[in-house]
Structure 1
Amino acid sequence: MLNRKDFVSSQEVKWCQGCGDFNVLKTMQSVLAKAGKTKHNTVFISGIGCSSRFPYYMDTYGFHTIHGRAPTIATGVKAVNPELDVWVVTGDGDALSIGGNHFIHAIRRNQDIKILLFNNEIYGLTKGQYSPTSAQGCVSKSSPAGSIDYPLRPLTIAAASNASFIARTSDNDPKHMTAVFEAAAKHKGCAVIEILQNCVIFNDKVHEPYNGPKQRKEHLLYLEHNEPMVFGENKALKLSGLTPTVTDDNDNSVLTHDASTGDTSLAYMLANLSYPDFPVPVGIFHQSSRTTYDQLLHSEQQKTLTSSKLMTLLEKDSYVL
């Protein structure tokens, strides 16, 4: 059986010292080894950005592709060889700006690929411009007076696109990240995992107010299936009509998390919660089972093959249709 070092490539890792990507890389290598994955059956596909160097550092197959198009390449790879484990590595800029269209359609098809979306709320590789997920007012090299844009929330897009697996984790919590990656690896269908990731150079500690070691207990909502949504010191979530509100954990109407509900409406609500008025949910928002794009494609191919064989037999017997 392989161990983590077997998935470590010989390439020098060229990320900034202290970058959150290092933890993600080490965690993924460990998860693949623990899950019994093989190097020859695993593919990592990336677009453009700091996170997109990921395939170089995995001793597996991989493609470093073009800006925003990693899901497109992954779709082709998985379609021609459905036995492969295909992972897409992308960032908030790569996936949600030029790649937004490809991101959406990869999800709604429910192809059996796993999408790791590194969200540091900044363009790191191109030296610190604000990104689609940057907070309004973000001061950056492209918004020196503060961004006037409203930020995108990646997992609301995943929920609206009917993803069959939606999750969020943090680069500074390897134990939690491991559990999320393991669940995604076992899932059959499109898995979207947002990783709250730190860019130490251009957006340092952007997630620190809620996912820092001293802030987690108070500001992170750890989602557990069939468990009440409680966080902080005796706080919890409930619904007031269709509107989420914060209450205390003794309230009889505290929401219970159901990750396997039939639709993604609960996941959408959770993904749309806005800090600091609400906690930041982490864990598995939604997981459901439905036919994958790969299964449907195989079925269509079998129909075509059967039809072709029938036509050949009829032609041989000189039948006229």
Structure 2
Amino acid sequence: MFQYQGAYKDNGRDLHMKTFWSSVLVFILIYAACILLGLLMIVPFFVLDTGLAVLPAIALFLLLILTAIFVFYPLAVGIMRYFAAAYRGRNFRFKDVFKVFSKGNYSKVIKMGLLTLIGYFIFSFAVGMIVQVLTMAVNAPLLAVFDPSNMESTSTGGQTGSVVAVIVLNLLVVLLSYIPYVLVTIYMFLVYMAYIDEPLTPTTEKFQMAWDVMFRSGESVMKLIFSNLILWVVPIIVYALFIIAAVLLGGFFAETAFIVLLSAGVLFMLIAYLIVMYFMVGSITAYYFKGRDRLDQQHQAQPQV
């Protein structure tokens, strides 16, 4: 089940700590810059009249958006270099994250970002419309059940059963609606991994490479999704146990036990999800390179004309 997490763990065994802390440091720098810009947006309201303060605040907000697009986003892509290097067992330097800003690389990253953003909006619109149609179709029986002309003074077993069935179907539609978004998120990650793996390849070919790795390499994308889902859910279950223990001990012993256990649970969740996120990214990295290796083997096995 956890073959991709295991592959990343084995391949990058000597570089895990370096990859983890380098990635954390970059995100700390990004968040620090966001906080600084956020504080600068507040300053005008303390030194200027309320009406005049809006203008510099709007300007700083626009600056934050532009910084996110043209600085933070490329840095996030640059972090993937750490994971790619770790999986391939290659040492790296912290400053490698800034290679995305070098000549030739930066324009490609921005171009890929714009294309993926446009594609994501189109995809979200299409999925939203489909989900809306499915929701209307699922909820149609409720309109018949609660139609004043058909309602009786007391609820019948059939009506109750219909209501329960519709609620279950609504939950099913909501759950299923997340699957396309998970798939497209993995695909977008694979596109950027293709950029890191083959930086000189034309942008359109990177999208094709990611598609081939995801759907034609023979690797199991569903196994990747469900293994990461389990990793995501386990800390929540453990945290729930912390809360239950805190409530029980707090009720029978002292409030101090409740506070200590609740704090320990929050700390556990923070540490657990940092580790989980690290291996989720690592598993998709492993998925890409395993898929790419399979495609290369398939290509080599084909008879040459």
Query: Is the pair's TM-score, using the shorter chain for normalization, greater than 0.5?
Result: no
Q: Which has the higher strand share?
A: 1
TM-score calculated relative to the size of structure 1 = 0.22
Q: Which has the higher contact order (CA 8 A, sep 6+)?
A: 2
TM-score calculated relative to the size of structure 2 = 0.23
Larger radius of gyration: 2
